[in-house]
Chain A
Amino acid sequence: MDGLIFLTCAFIAVACAINLVLQTHPISSAISLVGVMVSLAVLYLLLGGEFIGMAQLIVYAGAIMVLFVFVIMLLNAGAERKYKRSVWATVLGVPLLLGLLGLVSYFIHSRVPATDSVQFGAWTGGSARDVGRVLFSTYLLPFEVTSILILIAIVGAVVLAQKEFD
């Protein structure tokens, strides 16, 4: 059952990612990215990350993608216009990418022992309780620094996007 869910979600994620790259209209790419993020959230749940799976859905698939779609609509972005690619890039690009992926997969397969496998329910330390306990004890300082980062990002976004005053 685990394998079936993994293969389904992996297929959806890869198909949506390829669609994201191939679509010329930004809004189609954004919807494909939502598909990737939702299937990754299912995989996080399968890996025992209850908190991070939900955070993925709320923060990524919810907040960030709404921001993207909002900006696409605000700018009224149309389809990308056609442009000339070099012949070499067109002919060699996809085979080289597939070759690189095959090489990387081979190395991962030979380096990671075949007995290393993950099973749903084998580890349940990813609940909000456990993540929160570690986040507010061991990683308290990085967490506080992150809040400053968010504050700076808010100020920066407001300064960049505001209308210029005379």
Chain B
Amino acid sequence: MPATVPLAWYLILSAVLFSIGVAGFLIRRSILTVFMCIELMLNAVNLSFISFAQRWKAVDGHIFSFFVMVVAAAEAAVGLAIILTVFKNRNTLEIDEVSSLKL
């Protein structure tokens, strides 16, 4: 095993995780799982930021992924509150049944 890892491997891992997140976002029907797939996509992007930070020896990438984490935390709090409200009003967690805005 080599002592160094090519930068491309990290970027490919990031792309794989992001695509799995997109696929899950599209095929799942439970609001909670869809929301978790969004978190997975944010994590995949963070990995790209951190690997570029290491490559260019600059700390800025860490700052960006720190901000992504903060936004994800805020998003999780508000999103889960919205899910609670939807469940309270509709008594369902299936996204297909929450389609009153659909034309």
Contacts and interface: CB of A to CB of B under 8 A. Distances in A.
Contacts, number: 231
Interface residues of B, number: 69
Interface in B63-103: 63, 65-67, 69-78, 80-85, 87, 93-94, 96
B7 A21 contact: no
Nearest to B2: A3
B35 to A, nearest CB: 8
Interface in A111-166: 112, 114, 116-119, 122-123, 125-126, 130-131, 134-135, 139, 142, 146, 149-150, 152-154, 156-158, 160-161
Contact of A64 (B5, B39, B81): B39
A102 B43 CA distance: 21
Interface in B1-59: 1-13, 15-17, 19-21, 23-24, 27-30, 32-33, 35-37, 39-40, 43, 46-47, 50-51, 53-55, 57-59
Contact of A6 (B9, B24, B53): B9
A87 B11 CA distance: 33
Contact of A36 (B15, B17, B28): B17
Nearest to B63: A139
A93 B27 contact: yes
Interface string A64-92: 10011001101101001101010001000
24 contacts: A6-B10, A13-B17, A20-B33, A33-B40, A37-B43, A47-B51, A52-B65, A55-B66, A71-B32, A75-B93, A77-B93, A80-B30, A81-B94, A100-B19, A101-B19, A116-B7, A123-B57, A125-B58, A135-B63, A150-B70, A153-B73, A153-B75, A160-B81, A160-B85
